[in-house]
Amino acid sequence: MSAQTQPWWRGAAIYQVYPRSFLDTDGDGVGDLPGVAVKMDHIASLGVDAVWISPFYPSPMRDFGYDITDYCGVDPVFGTVADFDAVVAAAHARGVRVLVDQVYAHVSSDHPWFSESRADRTNPRADWFVWADPKPDGSPPNNWQSVFGGPAWTWDARRCQYYLHNFLTSQPQLNLHVPAVQDALLGVARFWLERGVDGFRLDALNFAMHDPLLRDNPPAPDTGKPRTRPFDYQQKKWNLFHPDTPQFLERLRALTDEYDGVFTLAEVGDDDDNAWKKRFTRGDHRLNSAYGFDFLYAPRLTAALVAKVMGDWPNGADQGWPCWAFENHDAPRAVSRWCDPEARAPFARLKVALLACLRGNFTLYQGEELGLVQDDIPFEQLQDPEAITNWPRTLSRDGARTPLPWSDAPQGGFTSGTPWLPMSEANMSRNVTAQEADPASQLAFTQAMLALRKAHPALRLGDLLDCAVDGERLDFVRAIEGERLRCLFNLSDKALPLIDVAGDVLLAVNGARPDALPPYGALIVRV
């Protein structure tokens, strides 16, 4: 398949909007869908192919939208369904596709489906959730643990049974082994496809199905890494990655194929998830792409790590198509994880250059184009339930969710009220308006880097060849018929020499030259 006939999503750059923190238009301190529509010019100006909008559905917000009470509505804090339609129209008018989150593993305990299911054991939705009798001593049916701490089972007196929840107790697990549940979720997908969305990001897909025999998970070996939750002490053998999950994905793919150009992206997070990411995406009858946490929680960005991750996804149509992210709403800002404070500006440029040169799709999390840093949220202002439960050992997700600064106005121009999370001076100084006026800004560099990727099929669609690591020097080739680009990166804070680099330099980052890579330098050379 030639570059001209590839689907729009292959090699796409995707911008993630966390709507609570994007732009507030009504002064309540919480971002909303009208704010996304108002700032669609900013999103389009980056040169991205699509915008992924995190959940905006009705929710009690115990997990900030990932606990849904109505899959086919909009929470009033974000606006209305008409406001969502306006976002789609604004994006499409600018050539930007729209992806939305689909959360199929669980709902809110306030969802009408769960209210009916918990009423008794004989109602029409009695088996729509995972219910189990206690052991003879009254304890939970097995040893599974919740991601957010404590057992993954909560007792319900109405049914005199336990229900499963892999996250908060208020997020009961849907039973996707039941065909009627799958049918209902496919109906949800069709609802949003009919409203013009161009694809879905499928949240926590590895949690979608469980072992119906409810077998105990075995203990996890001690690797020496800190373990802050009971969840970390188990191998998730039976509560994740059920082998029937791909069959449901085939049903979803059959639905999306009824529409033109729909893209499906799986979130798959686990310690050893590459085989499942490929299983979820292999062939042309399952999902289009998948991403995991290879980089999102990595303590350091090293040449060896990048080479290993790229090696796990070799060239070839039968291997699936990967997607990469260095930051998102669940992971700390990369510039705060991966470099010293004094190196953040050059490192931010290097990071975006590398991300745009990797084989696959990639996502930019809102604020990443500005080089935003992780904010330090004091305990009394935390909103993140995981951080509150595991304080102080778990780094708060709130620190990456603070509002986007648009200008030097009060509250960074994000709101006329009090923002739902505090905003730091460090990030407000990196606001959009200031960077738009600075041709040397991180924003300008991000726009230039995405334009370069879009202009060169080798970067967007080509194979990744000849990957070599020498200390913290990373060297690989992106190649497609008619074009070969050599990409070199120095992932350290020390200068590195270069030899035998010949060709037309398309990009030189942080003072890089064909004979030298300064700290965090990068070169892209046509060879």
Tell me which of 41, 137, 258, 318 is the catalytic residue.
258
Tell me which of 24, 49, 203, 386 is the catalytic residue.
203
DSSP tag of 412: G
Closest by CA to 399, choosing from 491, 317, 489, 336, is 336
**Is residue 151 left, alpha or beta, with left meaning phi > 0 and alpha meaning psi from -120 to 50?**
beta
Mapped onto helix, strand or coil, the DSSP state of residue 328 is: strand
Q: Would you call 258 a catalytic residue per the annotation?
A: yes
| Buried-exposed string 128-164: b where 16+ CB fall within 10 A, e elsewhere | bbbbeeeeeeeebbbbbbbbbbebbbbebeebebbbb
Identity (one letter) of the amino acid at 197? V
| Buried-exposed string 439-459: b where 16+ CB fall within 10 A, e elsewhere | eebbbebbbbbbebbbebbbb
Are the CB atoms for 458 and 485 separated by under 8 Å? Answer: yes
- Residue 363 pairs in a beta bridge with 14, 325
Are the CB atoms for 148 and 385 separated by under 8 Å? Answer: yes
Q: Would you call 156 a catalytic residue per the annotation?
A: no
Identity (one letter) of the amino acid at 440? A
Cα 49 from chain centre = 16
| Buried-exposed string 48-58: b where 16+ CB fall within 10 A, e elsewhere | bbbbbbbbbbb
Task: Give the CB-side neighbour count of residue 43, counting CA atoms within 13 A.
Answer: 35
Residues with catalytic function: 203, 258
